[in-house]
Amino acid sequence: MVSKADRLKTTIGDLCMASPVIIASGVWPYDEKMWNSDLLEGVGAVCTKAVTTRPRIGNPGIRLWETPSGMLNSIGLQNTGVESFLRDYLPGLSNVELPFILNVAAESEEDIISTLSSLEQVSDRIPCVELNISCPNVDDGGMLWGKLPEGAEKAVGTARSVWKGPLWVKLTPQAFDIAEIGVAAQEAGADALVASNTWLGMDIDIIRSEPVFQRTFAGLSGPAVFPLALRVVWELCSAVSIPVIGCGGVTSARDCLAMIMAGATAVETGTALLTDLNSPLKICRGIEEFLDSRSFEFLKDIRGIARKRA
């Protein structure tokens, strides 16, 4: 009999997770009660909210807007800065058994060095950093790093000059050639790739006769982008040898299974949690039911299986 604890186990480098389901950055609050509760049943790891060198107040105006089969957001990386994270939040996270992934965003090379230098001093307490070169809702840095191979190489190389621990890189689907970006990030020192962040979109408030968001464009997430995200995962898995974490519209066991069959090692889910906090547990149960129905023992047995039949 296969142990339930081992069946969905997923390993990315030295990070071992009980399930392949990771909560994406920007969703889970730092509230200690949320980190030590049965709400995290079925979750393999949690990505923190983005951390930047200096505090950011985020974008003005409307920040969330529901769309058919999805959601637009323009948060703008609101956070209290790396010093506040180390002082106010890291002590609480250090007491959590579930591994966390620290999402880091930067506007410049100097910011990457500054933020990661501060984190390197406590690297024994941080399981992994997710370098965000993909945020569409800020003017500087953000997805500009990830649109061209040269930018990705510079951002990841700069991070690697400081941060010696596990490093994931979150890519933008706005890249001109996502495979080239992935290869550049891998060669610069990335241990894994997250594919990907939100797609640029917009909406117009027809009552006010103007764009919903003050920045006009915002990031689209949710089920509407899943087929696009799956294509990005497929292309990256064809180009790189490091693990790929599928992200974008994952809301069900079927979505997770498709990502894994395309070659992903794990998935990140975010928008689904806004309507159902138990979605990670439901995803895991659905995966186990599928494995039973197809006589597979472990989730790893189906990784990349669709590629062999393409």
Which is the catalytic residue, given 47, 128, 135, 237?
135
Q: What is the mean pLDDT of residues 80-85?
A: 98
pLDDT at 263 over 90: yes
Q: Which residue has the higher pLDDT, 147 or 139?
A: 147
Confidence at residue 1, expressed as pLDDT on a 0 to 100 scale: 47
Domains and CATH numbers, the chain: 4-59+76-200+221-308 (3.20.20.70)
3 falls in which pLDDT band (50, 70, 90)?
A: low
Rounded CA gap, 126 and 172, in Å? 24
Q: What is the mean pLDDT of the chain?
A: 94
pLDDT band at 61 (very low <50, low <70, confident <90, very high): very high
d(CA 130, CA 295): 35
The model's pLDDT over 168-223, given as tens digits with 9 standing for 90+, comes to 999 999 998 999 999 999 999 999 999 989 999 999 999 999 999 999 999 999 99
What region does 26 belong to: left with phi over 0, alpha with psi -120 to 50, or beta? left
256 has pLDDT over 60: yes
Query: What per-residue string of b and e applies to 132-171 under the rule 16 or more CB within 10 Å gives b?
Result: bbbbbbbeebbbbbbbbbebbbbbbbbbbeebebbbbbbb
> According to the model, what pLDDT value does residue 138 have?
66
Q: Taking a C-beta distance cutoff of 8 angstroms, is the pair 302, 261 a contact?
A: yes
Q: List pLDDT tens digits, range 97-122.
A: 899 999 999 889 999 999 999 999 99
Average pLDDT over residues 75-81: 95
Q: Is 47 a catalytic residue?
A: no
| pLDDT greater than 60 at residue 16 | yes
- Give the number of other Cβ atoms within 10 Å of residue 224's Cβ: 18
Residue 144: predicted pLDDT: 72
Parallel, antiparallel, or unpaired: how do β-strands 167-170 and 128-132 relate?
Answer: parallel
- Show Cβ contacts of residue 289 under 8 Å, excluding neighbours closer than 6 positions: 253
**Rounded Cα–Cα distance for residues 90 and 84 (Å):** 9
Would you tell me how many other CB atoms lie within 10 Å of the CB of residue 67? 16
